[in-house]
Structures are given as C-alpha cells and as structure tokens.
Structure 1
Amino acid sequence: MRLKSIEINGFKSFADKIKLDFETNITAIIGPNGSGKSNVADAVRWVLGEQSAKTLRGSKMEDVIFSGTDHKIKKNYSTVSITFDNSDNIIPIDFKEVTIARKLYRTGESDYFINKSNVRLKEVRELFLDTGIGREGYSIIGQGRIEEIINGKSEDRRAIFEEASGISKIKYQKNESQKKLFKAKDNLTRLRDIIIQNENRYTFLKGQSIKAKTGITLLQNIEKAEFSISYKEYNYLNSNFTKFTETLKISKEEFSDISKELDDVKIKIAPLKEELNNITSLVEKDINELNKITSQKNDIVNKKNVLNERNKFIKLNNEQSLDIKEEYKSNLEKINSEI
C-alpha cells in the first residue's frame, strides 16, 4: 500500500485547488516555516476522520476552511481527498486504488466518501484499522506528538503499539461485539420482565378469553337469528315487490292510454287556442280604443267644467255691473236734481 496523491481545496491556507502526486522515489517534503507542510499533514489527518479542532491547531472545526485574505475571498466549504495504491490489498476493499474524501461546509454539514460513494465516519475508521494510517495511527505523527507519546499515559502508548502489532482491529471488533452483547443482555432482561408481566396477566387473560369466546358464540347466534329475520323480511319484500311491479306495469299501460288521449285533446285544442289568441288580440285593441275614448271624454268633461266656472264668473260680473249701473243712475239723478 502506498500514498499516491492528495487533493486539497479550501483547506486552511490552500485557497485554490492543488494536487500533490507522490511518486515512488519521494521520501520527504521539506520547506521553510509557513510554507504549508503542517497543513498538508493536518489535511491527511482531517480527511481520515479527525474530530478534534485542537489537534488540527484550531479553536473550532470551521477554522479548517479558508477564511480569506486581502486578495482572496473566503471559501464556503473545504474538501480534501487522499488516494492510496491498494495493489497489495492491505486495505480490505476490492479496489486497486482507494480514494477517501471529506467535505465540510460552514453550516457544519460534513460528508465522507470512499471512491465517490457517500459513507459514514465509522466506515472510514473501520477501513483503516490495523493499517497504521488511521486518525490515531502511528503513520501520522505531528509536531510534539513523539513527546506526547513518551510523556503521555500508558494507555495512549498501548493504543499505538496495538495499532502497530495489528490487533487494534480485533480489539475494535471485540468492543463492538461486547456492545452488541450488552445490548442483547438488556433486551433479554426486558424480555424476562415482559414474560413475568404476561405470566401474571395469564389467568386474567384466560378468563377474558373464555368470556370472549362466549361472547363470540352469542354474537354468532344473534347473527344467525338476524339473518333468519332478514331472510323472512326479504321474502316478504320480494313478494310485495312482485305485486308492486305488476301494479306498476298496469299503471304504465293506463298512463300510456291517458297520454294518447291527452295528445288527441291537444290536437283538438290547438285551433281553439289560435282562435282564442285572435279574440284576445281584438279585445286588447278594443280596450286600447276604449281607453283613448275615455281619455277624450275626460278631457271634454274637464273643459266643460272650466267653461261652467267661467260662465258663473261672467254672470256674477254681469250682476255686479247692473248694480253699479243702477247706482250710477241714482247718483246721476241726484246730481241732476241738485243742478
């Protein structure tokens, strides 16, 4: 098994996408401080499933995403993929070339891929057990890591030795099996509790079962009785239906005869309707003429009343004029006598 290439995009100081191809004759990468050597090592550790931001020299996991500079805008995601030559089948997967990739967004969403297939972190970790390449493997030792191993706890050194000796995978499988065993024991305990509860309820449920069977028998008897009654009602209704059908047939024949007579009457009435319509139109004309004559009569009566009033007024004026004339005569005579 051999490291073949690393592809980095948006991880820490690598703003642009780069790809590092490792040929067979490469033994080391050297460079000045700040050139990004440690970031490459962090990228390898990160893509293999590192979850501690402190181990990656950051305060939070979002710090591994390129945060931008005066000349480059910040990235919204970070992605790293690492490719191994698996010709010797050390990695337990049926591929001659294995590519592991990890992608992290600023929203906190993270995806893992094995040969472009989306997988869980657990599958990535299990894939590299006993290969020395895992997140805690001895193949990746950063700055100060040797001092930590020497001065650290014996349990931490033991994990490295177990990884190097090839028993970490067996130990991992043992732990997983123990977890499943403990879970199975818990399920057995719950099952025993359920059995005890069911045993305590058995007598009660048995009595309920007898009552239920009795109830089912009674219900069946009731259904049979209801069916017998319904069958009798059905026969009665069926016989009545036959009678009603015959009556309906006779009524239909009578209705047909009546309809024929009605059609004959309609044919006979048609000329009378036409004549009635003519008479109605003549009557309407006469009514219109009568209305006109009545209107003229009312106008004449109104004029007559007006003339009568005028005549009365004239007569009254004539009478007044005669009285005035007599008075004038009397005054004239007086004047003449005085003269």
Structure 2
Amino acid sequence: MSHLRSITMKGFKSFPQRTKLEFAPGVGVVVGPNGSGKSNVTDAVLWALGEQSPLAVRGQTMQDVIFAGGHGLKSSRAAEVEVVVDNSDGVLDSEFSELSIMRRLDRSGEGEYRLNGARCRLVDVIEALSDTGLGKEAHSIVSQGRVETIIHSRPRDRRLLIEEAAGLGKHRKRRRRAELKLGRAEENLSRSLDVEREARSRLRPLKRQA
C-alpha cells in the first residue's frame, strides 16, 4: 500500500540540521510540545511537493522557509526537503517502487527539483503526483480551515477536487495525449496521400511519352 515513507529536512524552518522522519504503513503521529516544529513538518511536505504560495507554508516570501538562525546556530544558506513515497502498488505513474521528490531553495531565490535524484521541472513533479491527492491542491493534507474553504468554494473547484480524488484527471490527460498523437498521425497520412497524388499526376504524362 502506498504511504509516506520518509521526510528529510535540512535548513528548512526550525530544522537547521539534517533531520529524517521515517513512517511505517498505517497511522503515523508526530507529537511534541508547542513550538517544537510539528506544523513545520507538514509545511515541509507541502513545500517539497511543489507548493508555490508562501502563505500556504506560513511565510511572507518563499525564502522564509530557510532557517533564519537562532539558539547559537547561524542561518542556513538553503532549505532542502526530500519526501519519499512508497509506490509498491503502482498508484503513482512511475516505474519505480518508491518515488523520491526533492526540492531545494537558496537565499538568492535559485531553486531546483529532483525526481529520484534526476533534476526536473515543477511540471514534472505535478505530473508525477497527478490524481494521487498529493501536491499543491492535496486532499490528503488537510490543514486548519481547509474543510471550511472547500465547503465554501465554487462548485467547479469542488468538482475538480472530487475528480482528482477519483483519479479522473489522469485518464483525461492520457486520452488527450492519445488524441493529439492520433491527430498528428492523421495529418501525416494526409500529407503522404497528397504527395502520392502529386507523384501519380506527374507520372501519367511520363508514361504517355514513353
């Protein structure tokens, strides 16, 4: 069964040093006193999976996720979070039994994403998480006020959320790609037929001359 296998944070918010949390299948609980960084763990997951709004991870700018220093430690040069998801049942659109998603951001604003160690684009991360309930509009991560926001959202937005939960979006994307390929094949066939007709029209006078 697919599940969150681990989260590794370094330089992210209240985690200046490399910190790894591992999870087994089933229910996992992160406990601790107020101010110990529990909410930052959720922020780290959202951020690694492609969240683009600083407000969604409780910041004013995206650089606010980088450890600012404190408790005798210097500020970090960059924030880095890696999320590893178990994919043994093939829920994710990947050939691998697990999917590693890493995001890094330095203070200059330069950032990068990696899928299983290979550098990629944000759109690749979004595509890999399509219809899984993870990512920016995740229905698997419910923050305070999220339920109320969904209830009061537009019907179209609720419908899109339900479709993602049902896995319809992935099939629509695949159908769209298949339709585009079919359209290109039909165009190529039409051009080939035009070339054939043109060749035949030129060949007829040559046959008469022969």
Distance 1:15 1:130 in 2: 33
Partner of 1:19: 20
How do residues 262-277 of structure 1 correspond to structure 2 at under 5 angstroms?
none
Is the alpha carbon distance of 1:172 and 1:67 closer, same or farther for their aligned partners in structure 2, counting shifts above 3 Å?
farther
TM-score normalised to the size of structure 2?
Answer: 0.79
Distance 1:44 1:170 in 2: 26
Partner of 2:35: 34
More helix by share: 1
How do residues 88-237 of structure 1 correspond to structure 2 at under 5 angstroms?
88-172=89-173
| Unaligned segments of structure 2, at least 5 residues | 185-210
Deviations 1:269-316 (A, max 9, x none): xxxxxxxxxxxxxxxxxxxxxxxxxxxxxxxxxxxxxxxxxxxxxxxx
| Unaligned segments of structure 1, at least 5 residues | 185-339
Deviation at 1:25, TM superposition (A): 5.0
Is the alpha carbon distance of 1:66 and 1:93 closer, same or farther for their aligned partners in structure 2, counting shifts above 3 Å?
same
Deviation at 1:177, TM superposition (A): 8.9
Partner of 1:46: 47
Deviation at 1:133, TM superposition (A): 1.6
Aligned amino acid, residue 156 of structure 1 = D
Q: Aligned to 1:43, what secondary structure does the other structure show?
A: helix
Aligned amino acid, residue 20 of structure 1 = L
Contact 1:137 1:163 in 2 (8 A): no
Deviation at 1:172, TM superposition (A): 4.9
Deviation at 1:132, TM superposition (A): 1.3
Aligned amino acid, residue 63 of structure 1 = D
Is the alpha carbon distance of 1:108 and 1:22 closer, same or farther for their aligned partners in structure 2, counting shifts above 3 Å?
same
Partner of 1:7: 8
Query: Cα RMSD (Å) of the superposition?
Result: 2.2
Aligned amino acid, residue 164 of structure 1 = A
- Deviating above 3 A after TM superposition, structure 1's stretches of 4 or more consecutive aligned residues are 170-178
Is the alpha carbon distance of 1:70 and 1:2 closer, same or farther for their aligned partners in structure 2, counting shifts above 3 Å?
closer
Aligned amino acid, residue 96 of structure 1 = S
Contact 2:4 2:86 in 1 (8 A): yes
Is the alpha carbon distance of 1:154 and 1:32 closer, same or farther for their aligned partners in structure 2, counting shifts above 3 Å?
farther
Q: Aligned to 1:51, what secondary structure does the other structure show?
A: coil
Distance 1:53 1:163 in 2: 24
Distance 1:67 1:21 in 2: 25
Partner of 1:69: 70
Aligned amino acid, residue 150 of structure 1 = I
Higher relative contact order (CA 8 A, sep 6+): 2
Aligned amino acid, residue 157 of structure 2 = D
TM-score normalised to the size of structure 1?
Answer: 0.50
Deviations 1:174-223 (A, max 9, x none): 78899x8xxx9xxxxxxxxxxxxxxxxxxxxxxxxxxxxxxxxxxxxxxx
Aligned amino acid, residue 118 of structure 2 = S
Deviations 1:234-283 (A, max 9, x none): xxxxxxxxxxxxxxxxxxxxxxxxxxxxxxxxxxxxxxxxxxxxxxxxxx
How do residues 276-315 of structure 1 correspond to structure 2 at under 5 angstroms?
none
Distance 1:113 1:123 in 2: 9
Percent of aligned pairs sharing the same letter:
43
Deviation at 1:94, TM superposition (A): 1.3
Distance 1:33 1:159 in 2: 35
Distance 1:141 1:56 in 2: 13
Is the alpha carbon distance of 1:75 and 1:98 closer, same or farther for their aligned partners in structure 2, counting shifts above 3 Å?
same
